[in-house]
Structure 1
Amino acid sequence: MSHDTISQSISIVHPISLSHGRNAEVWDTTGKRYIDFVGGIGVLNLGHCHPGVVEAIRDQATRLTHYAFNAAPHAPYIELMNRLTAFIPVDYPVSGMLTNSGAEAAENALKIVRSATGRTAVIAFDGAFHGRTLATLNLNGKVAPYKQKVGVLPGPVYHLPYPSADNGVTCAEALKAMDRLFSVEIDVEDVACFIIEPVQGEGGFLALDIEFAQALRRFCDEKNIVLIADEIQSGFGRTGQRFAFSRLEIEPDLILLGKSIAGGVPLGAVVGRKALLDNLPKGGLGGTYSGNPIACAAALATLDAMNDEHLNMWGSQQEETIVSRYRAWRAQGISPYLGRLTGVGAMRGIELANADGTPAARQLTQLLSLARDAGLLLMPSGKSRHIIRLLAPLTIEAAVLEEGLDILQACLEKLTA
């Protein structure tokens, strides 16, 4: 099928054309079956065509397909916000707004913190990814390909090292860099917010250092700075619990949501402290499609499926399987390019590295092709595009997960210099 009418600036990882899917399996237009470890890049924690989500979409489509909430409120939006705010594991009163995407949630969060603090500067982190819109591009801790050739970006934005056991950056190093930033680059009184991923997605499934997270929370409290947690990829059960910030034992002030919030239907949200969300004047927040009734219905069905018992069970089963297989591969020495296992819970990455520890990006490109030919779809990540991120649905059948890992093992064994 020709792609001539589609912008060539869109990069495609897998040059196939998909037809349909069921849970953790998809089929292309030639009828070939694949095990899906991409999940729409973290959107399908409940798998393809989850029955509850499909039923909710069908039912809502017979009632009301669209209404702009800021023109006239509709029941699905109201019900979802009541359910969603109750789903956020914090102790303070929560309110929020729905958006079309995670990037739009980030954009609105920037407006909210500017209004609430009267400040404009934002501190983000190396390796971060927060979206592809103009303001979120500047938050991203990586130039290529996102910031290339787009000119001056909205600011001011500063970046700090992201401390994680997965990248070797310590809490002390990050705090030292933060001290330098406020001594040399910017007055702390000008900072509106920090924005951070509890587990970096595009950055390579790097889990944030807990000590640093708690120090950052204390610092933000002392300086009246808003702390934003980007849970767009790590949220809705990806790590085996509702949201990844819970493992850090902190409460962010604002939380960005998207991806698996609605079972594959475009939706996002920014939620958090009610005083922050209510700060802009009437009309300061909103959008034509934001909180579309069909998307809200899909999100309500998603929340029905994501009770803590299910999330804990799905997360622990997937984590145990992945970790045990990885350890066996290391013990067997199946590939000289098999590097570290990154992430936490069911949000795991597998690094490909050379003998000297440098990224084996060429071997990852090789692996993507080998796995696809063998019937497994994988997604790259990391600064050097050298980390496989495992994003199989949480609902994947045990036998299908093992089959996918068998294919991955066989392909790892075939990697060449």
Structure 2
Amino acid sequence: MTTMTDQARLLKTAIPGPRSVALHEARAQQVARGFGITMPVFVDHADGALLVDVDGNRIIDMGSGIAVTSVGAAAPQVVERIAEQAAKFTHTCFMVTEYEGFTEVAAALNRLTPGDHEKRTALFSTGAEAVENAVKIARAATGRPAIVVLDHAYHGRTLMTMTMTAKNVPYKEGFGPYAPEVYRAPMAYPFRYDGDEKACAADALAKLKDLVLTQIGAHNVAAIVAEPIQGEGGFVVPAEGFLPGVVEFAREHGILFVADEIQTGFARTGRMFACEHEGIVPDLITTAKALAGGMPLAAVTGRADVMDAVAPGGLGGTYAGNPVACAAALGAIETIEDDGLVARAAEIERLVKPRLEAMRAESGGRIGDVRGRGAMLAIELVEPGTTNPAPQYAQEVAAHCHREGVLVLVCGTYGNVIRLLPPLVISDALLEDALDVLATAVRSLA
């Protein structure tokens, strides 16, 4: 990766600086207040794992635009392909006239996603759109109406995906009524289970089976949709064996298994896709975020017979598979493969997880859990000596990091999880600097 910005954190002003403050105040007159903000700085440019704001501060990015800029904020291969394609044409609509970029991205996804079966891919614009279309495809293929999702799930903000999402505030409050035929099963959440991991997996699986068999009727269920590692719900890694058990149960009853890999896909967890950690081959897999290096692009990839169950005209969208976004995706995939970013994500885990464990040991019981895979890692903050969520600690830690020029994100059903999603191209030096700031923030809780 080529970088032009000096790769070191730098604070020229307080965070936010005066120009960011002025721009943020002006924003209130122009932008709907429903758009929240994590860190009120306005970015001028970005390079690798650094965001440079309008006041000249260099901020270490430990969020990647919520797992989007995994190859860096302006990866050369992405930028070059975007420029080349934009000079040719920016749009035709693939349903009107065709272009090779769309089919090239589809071919790459058919090659990269788990399983050696024949596949088809449909391209869209956003993750929520991909999940919504996965539901449509599953219903068309099975002739069944019901969809099963999990506690703590996040699948998007459209009517269907908002219904599938577990957390009410801020994602669902005031937006009902919701879509019908969506059912929620327990998640195998080891930290919040009174027992060992094996028992956690078995108990959650038994409850899911009971829900499907007795409350819904297996013959009515089109698909079970699950994140291999939950994102907004708190970076919850399911208890080992739970998801393979779900897949086996689904196949026994003609139910499709949909892996929502929108946040976990494209090298983020130390595998190209997170479901590979437990050898899961989904019937359908949804992707977005890191797929196109910052451009809006999403996909559903799956078994050819399932994908082709939808008649011509049943899938699409004006911007679905936009040619500039497709060009960006080819550049992002090329970067991941050429630069060995799957292995780099695994290396980031080896560097970061011991530091997080050390923070837990020194936290006076305030860090209840350290979890995640690859470069998708988190700490869950609790009241000392309990598992009671402590969202106030998460807010304090995030605020400290932001003041010091390190962007971290808060997540979790209870708002008590600090999540780390650094660009996979981040240097060890920047990573260590960010972790030093995080460690100081955790110590300050005492």
**TM-score normalised by length of structure 2:** 0.90
Counterparts of 1:182 and 1:94, CA distance in 2:
28
Amino acid at match of 1:323: K
For structure 2, list consecutive stretches of 5 or more residues without a partner in the other structure: 1-22
Amino acid at match of 2:65: G
Give the structure 1 partner of residue 39 of structure 2: 14
Q: Does 1:189 align with 2:219?
A: yes
Give the counterpart of 2:66 among 36, 41, 45.
41
Counterparts of 1:335 and 1:377, CA distance in 2:
24
Give the counterpart of 1:216 among 246, 259, 265.
246
Give the structure 1 partner of residue 380 of structure 2: 351
1:30 positional shift = 1.3
* Greater CA drift, 106-115 or 311-320: 311-320
Give the counterpart of 1:339 among 353, 368, 372.
368
1:357 positional shift = 2.3
The 5 Å alignment of 1:2-81 reads: 2-3=26-27, 4-81=29-106
Give the structure 2 partner of residue 330 of structure 1: 360
Give the structure 1 partner of residue 135 of structure 2: 110
Counterparts of 2:227 and 2:40, CA distance in 1:
30
1:87 positional shift = 1.3
1:183 positional shift = 4.9
Q: Does 1:393 align with 2:418?
A: no
Root-mean-square deviation over aligned CA pairs: 1.5
Q: Does 1:317 align with 2:342?
A: no
Give the structure 2 partner of residue 364 of structure 1: 394
Stretches of 4+ aligned residues off by more than 4 angstroms = none
Give the counterpart of 1:177 among 207, 211, 218.
207
Give the structure 1 partner of residue 272 of structure 2: 242
Q: Does 1:120 align with 2:145?
A: yes
* Alignment CA distance shift 1:182-1:98 (3 Å): closer
Give the counterpart of 2:255 among 225, 230, 237.
225
Counterparts of 1:192 and 1:313, CA distance in 2:
36
- Find the residue that maps to 1:214 and give its secondary structure: helix
Amino acid at match of 2:311: P
Counterparts of 2:264 and 2:370, CA distance in 1:
17
Counterparts of 2:304 and 2:191, CA distance in 1:
34
Give the counterpart of 2:435 among 379, 388, 405.
405
1:15 positional shift = 1.7
1:301 positional shift = 0.7
Q: Deviations over 1:113-157 (max 9, x none)?
A: 111111110000000000000110111122222121112111211
Amino acid at match of 1:319: E
* Alignment CA distance shift 1:162-1:358 (3 Å): same
* Greater CA drift, 302-311 or 188-197: 302-311
Q: Does 1:152 align with 2:177?
A: yes
1:291 positional shift = 0.6
Counterparts of 2:315 and 2:210, CA distance in 1:
35
Amino acid at match of 1:65: T
* Alignment CA distance shift 1:412-1:100 (3 Å): same
Counterparts of 1:334 and 1:211, CA distance in 2:
31
Q: Does 1:94 align with 2:119?
A: yes
Q: Deviations over 1:340-386 (max 9, x none)?
A: 11112221111111112211100111111111110101101111111
For structure 1, list consecutive stretches of 5 or more residues without a partner in the other structure: none
* Alignment CA distance shift 1:239-1:167 (3 Å): farther
* Greater CA drift, 224-233 or 171-180: 171-180
- Find the residue that maps to 1:146 and give its secondary structure: coil
- Find the residue that maps to 2:120 and give its secondary structure: strand
Native 8 Å contact 1:353 1:360 kept in 2? yes
Native 8 Å contact 2:109 2:121 kept in 1? no
Amino acid at match of 2:175: V
1:90 positional shift = 0.9
Amino acid at match of 2:210: R
1:52 positional shift = 1.1
1:230 positional shift = 0.2
Amino acid at match of 2:42: S
- Find the residue that maps to 2:285 and give its secondary structure: strand
- Find the residue that maps to 2:398 and give its secondary structure: helix
1:38 positional shift = 1.0
Give the structure 1 partner of residue 302 of structure 2: 272
* Alignment CA distance shift 1:312-1:289 (3 Å): closer
Native 8 Å contact 1:166 1:342 kept in 2? no
Counterparts of 2:338 and 2:34, CA distance in 1:
41
* Greater CA drift, 395-404 or 180-189: 180-189
Amino acid at match of 2:267: G
Give the structure 1 partner of residue 16 of structure 2: none
Native 8 Å contact 2:381 2:394 kept in 1? yes
Counterparts of 2:229 and 2:358, CA distance in 1:
25
- Find the residue that maps to 2:56 and give its secondary structure: coil
Give the counterpart of 1:294 among 309, 321, 324.
324
- Find the residue that maps to 1:384 and give its secondary structure: coil
- Kindly tell me the number of residue pairs found equivalent between the two proteins: 415
Amino acid at match of 1:210: E
**TM-score normalised by length of structure 1:** 0.96
Amino acid at match of 1:53: V
Give the structure 1 partner of residue 19 of structure 2: none
1:36 positional shift = 0.6
Counterparts of 1:265 and 1:221, CA distance in 2:
35
Counterparts of 2:343 and 2:202, CA distance in 1:
35
> Sequence identity, in percent?
38
Counterparts of 2:425 and 2:191, CA distance in 1:
26
Amino acid at match of 2:127: G
